Chains A and B, each alone.
Chain A
Amino acid sequence: MANFEIPVLREVPEIPRVKPEAMAHSAPFVSAAKFQEPLGYPGALVENWEQRAVEKLGELVGKYRSLQVFLDSCVKCGACTDKCHYYLGTSDPKNMPVARQDLLRKVYRRYYTLPGRWFPKLVGAVDMSKEVLDDWYTYYHQCSQCRRCSVFCPYGIDTAEISMAAREIMDSIGKGQKYCNEIIGKVFKIGNNLGLPEAALGDTLQGLEEEVEEDTGVRVRYPLDEKGAEVLLVTPSADFFAEPHVDGLVGYGKVFHAAGISWTVSSYASEAGNFGMFIGSYENMRRISLRIRQAALDLGVKRIVFGECGHAWRVAYSFLNTLAGPFDFLDPRYPVPQHICELTYSLMQEGRLRFDKSKNDHMVLTYHDSCNVARASRMGPEPGGQFKIPRAIIRATCSNFYDMPPDTIHDATFCCGGGGGLLTDDLIELRVKGAQPRMEALKSVIDDHGVTNIAAICAICKSQFTKVLPYYGFGMDMIVSVHQLVSNAIILDGQAQ
């Protein structure tokens, strides 16, 4: 099945010994000129790129306090060395967060600090070179920007910030990653990551209406570009396309229907995911975000609700107001934006949704906290609502639920292994190996509690698990959407039994 060694799932995980260069061969396809230029980047490696890279680094250090403080503050204590799922799964020491940061830090030290200029060998500073650039390209594409290291660092150093900066530098000198940049181009051209045109979206949504009516006897609407709707739903385009994502979309529609809230999808902003974040580009992230603002204005909606998507929720929750605000034209009684789980949960609290839990009795569930939801956002008014609310929805719709071990959930959750712009087949070995810690945690609840399914609220997690579960001997359909569980259990008025 694979031309690499699939990690063994152990009862008691242990920290591997370092195996230098174990993943040095893993790098994604480099972006061609036609994918670079629409984003404002040079099509190929520019002349005197060494100098340009160093200059760009200096520019970013001046624009981002995170970068400046993080590059200066690391003491190499080693607290993060066993926290990255890619290190745990690959044993490559450059996948230890501090070592990954050092790939950039050693260049920063060389050009922007006195000890690095005067005594480079002493402080481990190096010149910008082909070798350094190759290491950057290789190892900054082995970071899923999941922020697990930042939880455990005594100074809160977040390797995601370093990875994003490194990718931005590489893009600016003409060495971009094909996967991310091609996708961002599709958003600019068509409106979503998958490149689904308006007509295809319309067909899909209409098909869903027919299916749901067939299943339930209720005419639940799945509207596209409907002016005057109350809610603009922004959801990952995978929700229109793939299992189990689409089952989640079916669930959102049923929730809106049951609550009597009119809603619509926009073909212009038919994507929640914002890959501008993965490449550390404020400008591209902003361009994508402004499409959502524009769609909300054009359609005259009063609220914006995001579907199940982890990184999208980070950009939406933490950055949207900054990038595309202020949203003073929307209904001030609701947070902007709102997560579909927040909406469903508040309707549950108000007693406006009825569930028949037995519809999910064929499953024993666990829940995967998606990294960017867990560590870079919130749901509801209280810190930690991002852990509580999705679980409350699962418990309300399912009878059997068990959490994975405590050091693998909530803000200590392990990334699925495919986040941060790495969900591409050219990185499959990395994705499989990086999933090992999550798979080990999953195996422990399968063994202890007979868990049959794992629920998630992230399009990348869902796609990644679908692909990776079989490598570990699990069924690809173990992964389900949280709103798929809602969809199964919800009782609609007039529904056929």
Chain B
Amino acid sequence: MIVTVLYALIFYVATVLFVAGLAVKIVQFARTPAPLKIPTTPAPTTRAGVVVRMGREVVLFESLFRSNKWIWIFGWLFHFGMFLVLARHLRYFTEPVWTWVALIQPFGMYASFAMVGGLIGLWARRVLVDRVRYISAPSDHLMLALLVGIGLSGMSMTFLYHTDIVALKAFFLGLIRFDWGNLTYLPADPLLLLHLLLVATLMVVFPFSKLLHAPGVFFSPTRNQVDNPRERRHLAPWAAQLESGGR
């Protein structure tokens, strides 16, 4: 019972910090003015073109592909493995389970190998390549450890030591529906508790760390600006103020 209540609290707190922290950063990114046109050129000359550029960047990691094939393959495996794994996890939070979520279950299970494999590849570079070793802080290693820990503990439960998934789902549906009267016991399974604790840690760390690259990329002026400075005058509010102060 204590464990169940503790984890219920942990997940409420983690969710609030994750959502609120991320919202604060996104609002900050959106509100900070971009006083000058600085797209890395050649750049699209229309909004639609920018959407395509951003799409290629976010889905294919196009710049990274040009930059370094090793980081690209490891990074892409990790991110898209994780994407499938997360999509698969939706079945623990929805009732009834959506059809597409049911259909991707097998892919999501095996995507975990891509996810953890990609992470280990990235970690190996961090240790083995002298340039990347030089730029790594302890937190960069810890972040990888956290993600690998989440992946391995999850995979252990998927493939080796199954947990009581029905009880787990009931626990989370109870949390989501704020149905505290009938709070279902969380299975006291060490692997599950570890997995959940690491996930909650990741949620808390997210808005305060380099994981901000996820919203950040969409706000990056070198990638999201339209190349049209001669056609349209671009003026930030503080620059306009400077201007009205005297020309």
**A residues adjacent to B (C-beta < 8 A):** 15, 17-18, 20, 61-66, 68-70, 72-83, 93, 96, 98-99, 102, 113-115, 119, 121-124, 147, 150-158, 161, 282-283, 286, 290, 317-319, 321-322, 325-326, 335-337, 374-378, 381, 383-384, 386-387, 411-412
Contact = CB atoms under 8 A, between A and B. Distances in A.
B91 interface: no
24 contacts: A18-B131, A66-B221, A72-B25, A72-B216, A78-B68, A81-B132, A96-B134, A114-B208, A119-B139, A122-B137, A124-B139, A150-B222, A152-B66, A152-B67, A152-B68, A155-B220, A155-B223, A290-B247, A317-B230, A319-B36, A321-B234, A322-B235, A322-B239, A377-B41
Contacts of B71: 77-79
Contacts of B130: 17-18
Contact of A69 (B29, B44, B122, B129): B29
B217 A322 contact: no
Contacts of B231: 335
Contact of B137 (A114, A124, A322, A411): A124
Bin the interface of chain B by size: 35 or more
A411 B234 contact: no
Interface string B213-238: 10011011111000101111111101
Nearest to A374: B41
B134 A18 contact: yes
B5 to A, nearest CB: 27
A158 B225 CA distance: 14
B209 interface: yes
Contacts of A121: 138
Given A337-B230, A378-B42, 19 more contacts: A18-B134, A63-B238, A65-B33, A68-B32, A72-B25, A72-B210, A79-B68, A150-B40, A153-B63, A157-B222, A318-B36, A319-B37, A322-B233, A322-B234, A335-B231, A375-B40, A376-B40, A381-B45, A383-B43
Contact of A156 (B44, B63, B135): B63
Interface of B: 25, 28-29, 32-38, 40-45, 57, 61, 63-64, 66-68, 71, 75, 122, 125-126, 129-132, 134-140, 142, 208-210, 212-213, 216-217, 219-223, 227, 229-236, 238-239, 242, 247
Nearest to A336: B230
A80 B222 contact: no
B29 A317 contact: no
Contact of B135 (A99, A157, A161, A384): A99
Contacts of A82: 68, 131
Contacts of A317: 229-230
Contact of A152 (B63, B131, B219, B232): B63
Contact of B66 (A63, A65, A151, A383): A151
4 tightest Cβ-Cβ pairs between the two chains A and B: A73-B216, A124-B137, A156-B222, A383-B42
Contact of B64 (A64, A77, A102, A123): A77
Contacts of B134: 18, 20, 93, 96, 99
Nearest to B66: A152
B226 to A, nearest CB: 11
A383 B219 contact: no
A80 B122 CA distance: 15
A96 B40 CA distance: 19
Contacts of B40: 147, 150-151, 156, 158, 375-376, 411
B139 A123 contact: yes
Contact of A154 (B33, B41, B217): B217
A321 B233 contact: yes
Contacts of B221: 65-66, 69, 156
Nearest to A154: B64
Residue of A73, A98, A153, A411 contacting most chain B CB atoms (<10 Å): A73
B131 A78 contact: yes
Contact of B229 (A81, A147, A286, A318): A318
B153 to A, nearest CB: 23
Contacts of A377: 41
Contact of A83 (B41, B67, B208, B222): B67
B36 A386 contact: no
A389 B205 CA distance: 49
Contacts of B233: 321-322, 325-326
Given A76-B140, A78-B68, A153-B63, A68 B28 contact: yes
